[in-house]
Amino acid sequence: MIHRGLILWVLAAAGVAFAQSYGESGETVDTYQGPSVLSRGGSSVAGERAGRLIDFQFWGDVNAVYDSGLAGLIVGPNGNIESSAGEAGVVVGGGIVGTRVWEHDLISIDYGGDFRHYSPNSYYDGTDQFLQFNWRHILSRRWSLDVHDMGGITSLSYGTLSYVPLRSADVVGLPSNLLFDNTVYFEQAGAEVFFQKSARLSFGVGVDGFLTDYRSSSLASVRGVGAKADAVYRLSRRQKLYLTYQFSRFDYQHAFGFSNLNLGAAGYSVDIGRRWTIEGQAGVYYVHTLGLIQQPVAPAIAAILGTSYVTTTADRRIMVPDGELRVSRRFKKSSFDIGASETVSPGNGVYLTSRSESSYAHYSFVGNKRLTMGATVGYGSLSSVGQQSIGKYVGYNGGAGGSYRIWNNVHSEMRYDFNHYTTETSGFKQNENRVTVGVAFSSGDRPLALW
């Protein structure tokens, strides 16, 4: 597990070295291209904090941590899932974040990782790693290329991934709504090519591949591929309208089944003044799922078979609505985002192809001298699309924290996270809490918001 974390450290460092050596003319402020659109990742750009692109900064921290309610894949003598009453330990971490802009290129990196040890109980020792990389290159006056990669490791059902700079519903490779504190390896990579036909009209095509691997073979890992195409029309300098088509396929490991998804959607984005951005998308999924379900049998047949249920294949086709809305407000030293989405996800290892609903609100503040703060709240739910007779998963999470410059580049920091989730069928309910207090180092001439 640790060696994969070290690989992410090396990849992040290599990316920074490449960006730093690419040229001496790099800048950290991009020219205004109008509002973003959700079909092309929206505002989910690596290398920014508080709504602004920043130059490369490194950070590291050491924290005392207290976690309660951690749920492993363990069933106790009473037949219930066991969870920890409380675990105290230490977390050592660090990261790299930043963006460089040249005449024809933009490179962004956002990496954060930590290693965690509890004493005296080391069962929940582990690592959380996250790396996001974006490279945009102008091929010619009309053609451009976007290459992106996102991956990492998480062994907690909350925490690190609550604050990553991703708000786009098409990032299906990022594990979410997890039921257990069990190690997960994930990655999503792809590329898009854009053609600027005129000052107002552009077209894009892209491909993606993703994987989510759970260390426990009791959970269903998944492999996926996708392709998409869109047309974007600029109504004005601050307004864009677009149409998009996306195809995705989910193939499950350690479980029988697959899903093919076809999505058609339309979207609109607008900048209101210099501070507000509104992005919205609406459409419909056509989902084809193949899996296993249990079916009741007639009493007479049950008497012969010795069971009242049989397992059979379920081949279903269903229409599922798609929708996403995001509102962003950029201040001089901070940013605020609120959003909601309804989409189809590959599930969480227990739930397979699922209808996913989510909403969030996030605030980040970066002071010029000493203080940074961040806070987030979120909601998520999963309900099976065709393959499983299983109740709804519902989860709520939230967190807040801050750092204060003590001396030069040394900061004190504190953070609190809360995660609550439940399942309707079994009534399984879990409450998890985390408190961290420690010191951090950050390069640069101002504190770095770690969210």
Question: Percentages helix, strand, coil for the chain, rounded to the nearest 5?
Answer: 5, 60, 30
Whether 229 contacts 217, CB under 8 Å: no
Pick from 267, 253, 261: which is nearest to 227 by CA? 261
Question: Length of the chain in residues, anyone?
Answer: 451
Single-letter amino acid, residue 94: G
Whether 233 contacts 242, CB under 8 Å: yes
147 or 49, greater pLDDT: 147
Q: Give the C-alpha distances (Å, rounded to integers) separating 183 from 9, 113, 393, 402, 428.
A: 18, 14, 20, 27, 20
Q: Which of 46-60, 73-87, 324-338 has the highest mean pLDDT?
A: 324-338
**pLDDT of 9:** 47
Pick from 352, 355, 354: which is nearest to 342 by CA? 355
d(CA 87, CA 116): 11
Region 235-261: mean pLDDT is: 93
Region 149-170: mean pLDDT is: 67
Whether 340 contacts 359, CB under 8 Å: yes
**151-155, 166-170, 189-193, 275-279: which range is least confident on average?**
166-170
User: What are the residue boundaries of the structural domains of the chain, listed by start?
Assistant: 2-284+315-442
**pLDDT of 27:** 47
Region 376-402: mean pLDDT is: 87
pLDDT higher than 60, residue 56: yes
Region 319-337: mean pLDDT is: 90
300 or 278, greater pLDDT: 278
pLDDT higher than 80, residue 25: no
Region 58-66: mean pLDDT is: 93
**111-115, 201-205, 311-315, 368-372: which range is least confident on average?**
311-315
How many of the other CB atoms lie within 10 Å of CB of 314? 17
pLDDT higher than 80, residue 197: yes
Region 317-328: mean pLDDT is: 94
**pLDDT of 149:** 92
d(CA 114, CA 109): 17
pTM value is 0.82
Q: Write the CB contacts of 358 (distance below 8 Å, at least 6 apart in sequence).
A: 169, 176, 340, 341, 378, 379, 380, 381
Tell me how far apart the 2 most distant CA atoms of the chain are, in Å: 81
Secondary structure class of 23 (helix, strand, coil): coil
pLDDT band at 23 (very low <50, low <70, confident <90, very high): very low
Residue with tokens 């990579």: 189
pLDDT band at 370 (very low <50, low <70, confident <90, very high): confident
Q: Classify residue 197 as exposed, middle or buried by CB count within 10 Å of its CB (0-12, 13-18, 19+).
A: exposed
**247-256 per-position pLDDT tens digit:** 999 999 988 8
Across the chain, mean pLDDT equals 83
Q: Residue 164 has which token pair?
A: 């990553």
Q: Residue 232 has which token pair?
A: 């974007």
Q: Residue 338 has which token pair?
A: 């609120």
**Architecture (CATH level 2) of domain 2-284+315-442:** Beta Barrel (2.40)
pLDDT higher than 90, residue 193: yes
pLDDT band at 314 (very low <50, low <70, confident <90, very high): confident
How many of the other CB atoms lie within 10 Å of CB of 111? 24
Q: Is the peptide bond before 120 cis (omega within 30 degrees of 0)?
A: yes
**87-137 per-position pLDDT tens digit:** 999 999 998 888 888 989 999 998 888 999 998 888 888 888 889 899 999
Residue with tokens 């690989």: 7
**40-49, 99-108, 141-150, 293-302: which range is least confident on average?**
40-49
